[in-house]
């Protein structure tokens, strides 16, 4: 089962406008060009747009049809795109409540995801830190966070990483009020708070139960997050990855992997309103090589089949 799930990649970020959907589309295209069977899933349930970028104006079925049980199999909502080997499951943003699915809906969706006939499945998540977004992000064994060199994006990207970690820790320690209080105290920056890092959470948990420290370390080791810096215009902006990774290491004790950069591309930016045309005609644009580099990294990671523990969605 872990090998089946290893093909799932979640693509998230704390801020809208960092280019997650375009990144997902072009990464999916690059992976497909390398001979992989790829399915993109628009998991931005409150503001889906991946189908528009892919040149699909009126999708026949969306995730809303699956979640509302108008179709029983997720295979029925998989759509072809203009690119060979690249398919799409469209999201929906026009149905009240779809952005906040019930626990049973989330569980059914995630259980069906891992059975799709694909080598690689890309989940394009919504911006922000809703419980649904966090659960989808944590479920995937492989996680990519996309940021840009903008200060707000850096801050929100780190916030997204931190929120995902604490979402998981809340789940792990939810049955012990003392341990959960330690986790909560460390999650909110308050002047004078002495539990302000994972290292101090570690020390605070040690007196409670012997296995709590092991659970914490397992959690930190299993959150496999990779960072991509998008829209890089100058060489010095590549340092954004180092900044985010250093802060995550110092305060969250997470080893974030530098997964590559996407240079700013005028041709790509000018093609936002015609991405289907860009996919078939923009092969020589400046950023295409960056996407192929990241695609190679994805394929390499999938072949390693690194086991990872998943987080089952909660009723929160």
pLDDT at 311: 33
Give the pLDDT confidence score for residue 1 in this predicted structure.
47
In the block, which residue shows the tokens 């792990």?
A: 172
Confidence at residue 177, expressed as pLDDT on a 0 to 100 scale = 96
The pLDDT value recorded for residue 306 is 43
Phi then psi for residue 312, to 5 deg, are -75, 135
Residue 15: per-residue pLDDT: 79
Residue 38 confidence (pLDDT): 97
Which pLDDT score is estimated for 308?
39
In what order do the strands lie in the sheet containing 38-43? 78-80, 86-89, 38-43, 120-125, 8-12, 142-147, 225-232, 257-263
For the chain, how are helix, strand and coil distributed in percent, rounded to 5? 50, 15, 35
State the alpha helices, DSSP H only, in 19-150: 20-33, 50-53, 63-67, 103-113, 131-139
Cα distances (Å, whole numbers) of residue 88 to 80, 130, 289: 6, 23, 23
Instruction: Please report, for residues 2, 4, 74, 229, the alpha-carbon distance to residue 309 in angstroms, rounded to integers and kept in the order given.
Output: 8, 13, 24, 26
Domains of the chain, CATH where assigned? 2-153+224-304 (3.40.50.300)
What residues of the chain score a pLDDT lower than 50? Answer: 1, 96, 306-316
């Amino acid at each position: 089962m872990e090998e089946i799930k290893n093909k799932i990649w979640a693509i998230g970020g704390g801020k809208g406008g960092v280019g997650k959907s375009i990144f997902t589309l072009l990464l999916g295209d690059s992976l497909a060009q390398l001979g992989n069977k790829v399915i993109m899933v628009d998991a931005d349930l409150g503001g889906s747009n991946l189908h528009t970028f892919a040149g699909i104006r009126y999708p026949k079925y969306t995730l809303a049809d699956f979640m509302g049980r108008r179709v029983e199999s997720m295979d029925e909502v998989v759509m072809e795109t203009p690119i060979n080997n690249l398919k799409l499951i469209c999201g929906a943003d026009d149905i009240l409540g779809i952005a906040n699915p019930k626990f049973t809906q989330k569980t059914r969706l995630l259980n069906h995801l891992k059975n799709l006939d694909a080598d690689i499945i890309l989940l394009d998540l919504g911006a922000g830190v809703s419980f649904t977004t966090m659960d989808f992000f944590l479920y995937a064994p492989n996680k990519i966070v996309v940021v840009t060199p903008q200060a707000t994006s850096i801050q929100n990207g780190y916030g997204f990483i931190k929120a995902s970690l604490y979402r998981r820790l809340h789940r792990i320690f939810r049955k012990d009020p003392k341990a959960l209080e330690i986790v909560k105290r460390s999650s909110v920056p308050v002047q004078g708070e002495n539990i302000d890092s994972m290292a101090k959470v570690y020390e605070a948990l040690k007196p409670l139960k012997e296995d709590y420290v092991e659970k914490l370390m397992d959690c930190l080791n299993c959150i496999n997050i990779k960072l991509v810096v998008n829209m890089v215009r100058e060489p010095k902006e590549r340092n954004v990855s180092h900044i985010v990774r250093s802060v995550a290491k110092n305060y969250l004790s997470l080893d974030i992997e530098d997964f590559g950069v996407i240079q700013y591309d005028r041709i790509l930016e000018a093609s936002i309103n015609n991405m289907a045309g860009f996919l078939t005609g923009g092969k020589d644009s400046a950023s295409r090589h960056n996407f192929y580099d990241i695609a190679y990294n994805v394929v390499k990671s999938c072949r390693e089949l690194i086991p990872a523990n998943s987080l089952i969605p909660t009723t929160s």
